[in-house]
Structure 1
Amino acid sequence: MTSESIYRKYLMTFDHDEKWGFYVNSLGSTKIKSGDSYPSKGHPGSYNFSWEQGRILNEFQFVLITNGEGFLETKETGKKKISDGDGFMLFPGLWHRYRPKKKTGWTERWVGFSGTIAKMFLSNGFFNSNRPVIQKCKRTNILGYFDSLFHLFNNEPFGYQRLASGICLQLMAELYNIQQISDNEDSLNTMVSRAKQIMYKQINDSINPEEIASEFGISYSKFRADFKKQTGSSPLQYFLLLKIEKSKDLLLRTKKTQKEIAYSLGFESDYYFNRLFKQKAGMTPRVFRNNIKN
């Protein structure tokens, strides 16, 4: 199933589905071209709505916009701009309306779900009706969850509702993670930037990542995870890479020996420096100096 397809599925649910605690009610994908009327026709009963009247659903829905832009308006938030890659949550019993801009249209995917577990998302504060928009959702894994749901409901194998509930729960978990990263992005950037400054200042010495984490008031495991998320390397590996880059500069700009450079940058031995340099640069310091200069 692709985002260009027009697909709608409204599902009957039974007692055993509801007892499971989480079940999918609706699923769809529609491409609205620029200038097209919206919403498109063919939605049954309470799912249909107009911009003038809006709508109140009896289920949760997550709507993902993969192309185009438009607006979402709810009773609690007022009007919000929706851009390509944004997703938004719709909550049961809460009035809302949304539509693409006429000049851009948009491509939307949505999944509706209910159940006692779904209600816990709201009651436990994982998703908040005051902040329904989740940015940067157009990711391979998010699209993959939708594709899996489309495939499942096209074929309807035995127990497909329970299988769908697992996929949808994975989708919700990933959306929560994306939301948390977005919420903490500014503070995360600041923390990593400060950590890098400490490393630059102490490049000729050593660092203690646990002490840096303590200065930020967080555990080392969280500091390491957040740092790696931003840079792709653990704090210690990043610090060692800085030392290697500084050693390259010294090898090319000065006449210091390899041993002198190693000790000036705080390496415990010339042997360790040589081994690490070769590991990171693909050649020994001596070969690097001779090859680049020549």
Structure 2
Amino acid sequence: MTTYMDYTISSKPIRIIDRTTDKSKLNIKSLAMISVGHLPNRKLYRRTASFQHYALVYIAGGSGTYRINNGEQMKVGKGSFFFFFPGAVFDYGPAHNETWDEFYFTVEGSRLQEWLDTWLTELDKVHQIGTDDAQQSKIDRIFMLMESGDPANLDRAALLLESFLYELVLSSQPRLREPSADPMTKLLDDISASIHHPFDAAEVCERHHISLSTLRRMIHKATGYSLNEYVHRLKISEAKNMLLNTHQSVKETAVSLGFKDVFYFSRLFKKYVGVSPQHFRTDV
């Protein structure tokens, strides 16, 4: 990873991670990460910029504008994303005397054409979806995987980016969100999105206007598990991903999933996985 200061771009350190591993060592040839970057407090506005590769740009904070080929100037806000691609000219960046918090992901590979032919069909617009902890968690994991330089982790980073982008696209298209109007789907999505916080059943009930007994009954009917066991299984499943794909300690993993007691977390992990978190990380 390269971290450096460039006051023409930002008043804060910039993080750039370029792929240093030879592409021939990757197992997944159809989709590969080239680089990722984080430009916090970006103040630079670029004009007539062109790019050789496709890139996803996600704005976690701030606002500005984005324009393609001198066309319509589109507003960019917190929780929005847009794309760069070959064969076009872009003007983009925060407004005068303003900044934005930018993450970018540059990719290559034949798999991109499949995206463009099927679900990634609106490259020429700004998509607004909002922000949440689950999105930031995936971004952090992609950066950590890229930073490792390990070929298998670079493959994981590419697949995680594909999943991340797919969810962003689904979230930006109302017609594809219609199934979530189902109360059960909305409830399960809500619980899944909050696994990085201590679980509060009362808050879930309040958001969905149901009683605690109704919440327990709905979860058991949908999953076959009790409410507590379902939440624990979600958290432990995410813990397995974090232990394999990040450098966080067991304690840091526990805290990031809302556990105040690392020993309780370790007991739950062994209950559902069969081994302790430490052994799982070293044995897999």
The TM-score with structure 1 as length reference comes to: 0.54
Partner of 1:141: 134
How does 1:235-250 map onto structure 2 within 5 Å? none
Deviation readout 1:120-152 (Å, 9 max, x if unpaired): 11122533223x322124222221121011111
1:226 paired with 2:221, answer no
User: SS in structure 2 opposite 1:65?
Assistant: strand
Conserved 8 A contact 1:76-1:129: no
Deviation readout 1:245-292 (Å, 9 max, x if unpaired): 9xxxxxxxxxxxxxxxxxxxxxxxxxxxxxxx99559xxxxxxxxxxx
1:171 Cα offset (Å): 1.0
Partner of 1:167: 160
CA distance in 2: counterparts of 1:19 and 1:162, whole angstroms: 6
User: SS in structure 1 opposite 2:120?
Assistant: coil
Partner of 2:226: none
Partner of 1:123: 117
Conserved 8 A contact 1:137-1:175: no
Structure 1 residues 184 and 151: CA distance shift in structure 2, 3 A:
closer
Conserved 8 A contact 2:67-2:91: yes
CA distance in 1: counterparts of 2:129 and 2:104, whole angstroms: 16
**Identity across matched positions, percent:** 16
1:75 Cα offset (Å): 2.3
Structure 1 residues 102 and 78: CA distance shift in structure 2, 3 A:
same
Deviation readout 1:57-114 (Å, 9 max, x if unpaired): 2221111111110000012852101011111122232221211112321111111111
Letter in 2 for 1:148: R
Letter in 2 for 1:109: F
1:162 Cα offset (Å): 1.1
Conserved 8 A contact 2:34-2:108: yes
The TM-score with structure 2 as length reference comes to: 0.56
Conserved 8 A contact 1:70-1:83: yes
- 1:61 pairs with 38, 42, 55, which one? 55
Structure 1 residues 144 and 279: CA distance shift in structure 2, 3 A:
closer
Partner of 1:20: 29
Q: CA RMSD in A?
A: 3.7
Q: How many residues align?
A: 188
Q: Answer with 1 or 2: which has the greater Rg.
A: 1
Structure 2 segments unaligned to the other structure (5+ residues): 2-11, 189-208, 216-284
Letter in 2 for 1:54: A
Letter in 2 for 1:155: S
CA distance in 2: counterparts of 1:26 and 1:97, whole angstroms: 21
